[in-house]
Structure 1
Amino acid sequence: MLATPGALPPAAQDARWAYETKQDGQRVMVYLPGDGSVRLRARSGEDITGAYPELRPLGAALGRTPAVLDGEVLALDERGRADFQLLQGRMGLAHAPARAARRAAQVPVHLVLFDVPYLQEPLTGLPYTRRRARLTELGLAGPHWSTPGAVTGHGAEALRATREHGLEGLVCKRLDSVYEPGVRSRAWIKIRNMRSEDVVIGGWLPGKGRLTGRPGAVLVGQRAGGRLRYVGGVGTGWSEAERAELAELLRAVAADRCPFDPVPRIADARWVRPRLVGEVSYSIRTRAGMLRQPSWLRLRPDLTPEESAADLPEEFGGTP
């Protein structure tokens, strides 16, 4: 069951909803047949059990009781927050057991569980509150898995708390909602905390297909210690008119040299003089300071590249 992007429910309906932290990890369905084994499947249906050997002991957690659990695999940073960049080094190793074991020792994962569609019998027709109660009663807490709580009501406060703690966002779940496998339902609403910052355009990538002849993405940076450092490529957020306008502006500042230091390895990149400032939204920064899920908001003709608003944050080497 998938959530639909949206906003908080109306205040008058707040008490009809539960609120869970939106995690930045890999969604999994956990199959416990009751024989001590466990199988993990990704949203694609791929069997990814082999990628996470530290989760195998979960197979014996419920004894002979068969169950299907819904959850998210996370890799946590030193502050205990989900870090998708760390997790990427664990994904894709389902068929490389030796490498998966080595990576598990270096970057262990943690599975958070938030639903139980099956427990000896199908529970998909039960309301969220009853499924959640059944899940909590299982007491699934171990060295690499847990069942975080959910808050009923107080949605605005819950969302504010995720922002204050730098978390990805919030998932709102209607208390009477049944579990709809394979459906992106309005009974589950996801809210991603997006941030915005100013960036300097240092290059672009040619578009393909219907975008041939126009930029498919712009390559952006922020100042750090007197140099322009590459922080990501932005390929979404424009209207057709805005993309056409941007193409003209980029042609006017074309350059032969890359303005980023160090030079990023990007095939087919076209470089420009760093004269254009824009504003982008993004979810979080990676540990290296890159923008995750950036989207274009607008040009900032009122700002020059020398404006402090285009500085990389201090923790990534920028100006204090």
Structure 2
Amino acid sequence: MTLPLIPPMLATPGTLPPAAQDARWAYETKQDGQRVVVYLAGDGSVVLRARSGEEITAAYPELRSLGGALGRTAAVLDGEVLALDEQGRADFQLLQSRMGLVQAPAKAARLAAAAPVHLVLFDVMHLAGRSLVRLPYLRRRARLEALGLEGPSWSTPGAIVGHGREALEATRAHGLEGLMCKRLDSVYEPGVRSRAWIKIRNMLTADVLVGGWLPGKGRLTGLPGAVLVGQRAGSVLRYVGSVGTGWSEAERAELTALLRTLATDVCPFDPVPAAPNAHWVLPRLVGEVRFSTRTRAGLLRQPSWLRLRTDLTPEESAADIPDNPA
């Protein structure tokens, strides 16, 4: 069966719905992994596509057996690929060693044995030849759970209706990334960042574009001591701070190689920040940083590096920028 390509629906950052509306919402754990749309053609095959639409099936060979989980029933599912730590929590740093191996199937197979991933499923958009995107979330969720998709490398975690504050506190108590709030009557909006889905992170984070770097000192001589980052404000890139912590040695070395390929003599920030000895780069690298708050000038206070967002384009990185950063 030829299945329709369906870009994933996206959530809007926000806070818990009002208490009076709590019973109108479902709550799911927010996972820290790689978003995927899963295509099961009903012939034993499985195709995984990243949020960008790129096929990434070869990077996760341990998920191939999912192709036969529904027999001859064709389906398009929404989910997240995770790498779990020893406590069973999603660890994006572990997952990074698995991402990007589409062109290296032998290495992907070796890592699948050493650091297997787990796929969590949370929506179904197409089933047995019928589109379900116009059905409300509650009915789609019931269809998904009825499929019984529980296996060695995949599962369908539960969702609860109501009790949002308790659900959020539980994610914090267990050190999880956050909470997803989904309106029960919401349809599936392919490719849309919808207010019918709200994401709550248990930490302040931001997607930023790397526009330059400052040379390190001492043992970091020749390496970046800090990167200069910005966020889009209309058609210009505004400087929002310098990030100098959060990398492992391997990550810093990887970042160094990437920055050298993007070197430019032109500062990408408008206005140009006061950054003596800065090396400028084309703003093509998207990073995620953790920070405590923003200054009145819009700068990130106490930022630290979390990860390189290879799953986002520079254009997509502007999605979470607040209208008023102060």
Task: Give unpaired runs (5+ residues) of structure 2.
Answer: 1-8, 206-215, 217-224, 247-251, 256-269, 281-286, 296-301, 303-326
For 1:136 and 1:216, locate their aligned partners in 2 and report how far apart those are by CA, in whole Å.
43
Q: Which of the residues 172, 186, 199 maps onto 2:195? A: 186
- Does residue 57 of structure 2 align to residue 49 of structure 1? yes
SS at match of 2:289: coil
Q: CA deviation at 1:85?
A: 0.4
Match of 1:109 in 2: 117
For 1:156 and 1:145, locate their aligned partners in 2 and report how far apart those are by CA, in whole Å.
28
- Does residue 95 of structure 2 align to residue 90 of structure 1? no
1:269-288 equivalent positions in 2, closer than 5 A: none
Match of 2:242 in 1: 218
CA contact (8 A) 1:206 1:268 kept: no
Q: Which amino acid aligns with 2:179?
A: L
Count of residue correspondences: 240
- Does residue 163 of structure 2 align to residue 163 of structure 1? no
CA contact (8 A) 1:29 1:41 kept: yes
Q: Which amino acid aligns with 2:138?
A: T
For 1:24 and 1:158, locate their aligned partners in 2 and report how far apart those are by CA, in whole Å.
17
CA contact (8 A) 2:84 2:90 kept: yes
Q: CA deviation at 1:173?
A: 0.3
For 2:83 and 2:156, locate their aligned partners in 1 and report how far apart those are by CA, in whole Å.
16
For 1:207 and 1:188, locate their aligned partners in 2 and report how far apart those are by CA, in whole Å.
28
Larger CA Rg, structure 1 vs 2: 1
CA contact (8 A) 2:204 2:292 kept: no
Q: Normalising by the residue count of structure 1, what TM-score does the alignment of the two structures yield?
A: 0.67
C-alpha spacing 1:217/1:34, structure 2 compared with 1 (3 Å): same
Match of 1:27 in 2: 35
Q: CA deviation at 1:28?
A: 0.3
Q: Which of the residues 141, 145, 150 maps onto 2:154? A: 145
Q: CA deviation at 1:298?
A: 5.9
Q: Normalising by the residue count of structure 2, what TM-score does the alignment of the two structures yield?
A: 0.66
SS at match of 1:93: coil
Match of 2:293 in 1: 297
SS at match of 1:58: helix
For 1:77 and 1:28, locate their aligned partners in 2 and report how far apart those are by CA, in whole Å.
20
Q: Percent identical across equivalent pairs?
A: 70
Q: Which amino acid aligns with 1:112?
A: V
Q: CA deviation at 1:20?
A: 0.3
Quote the RMSD (CA, aligned, Å): 3.2
SS at match of 1:293: strand
SS at match of 1:92: coil
CA contact (8 A) 1:25 1:73 kept: yes
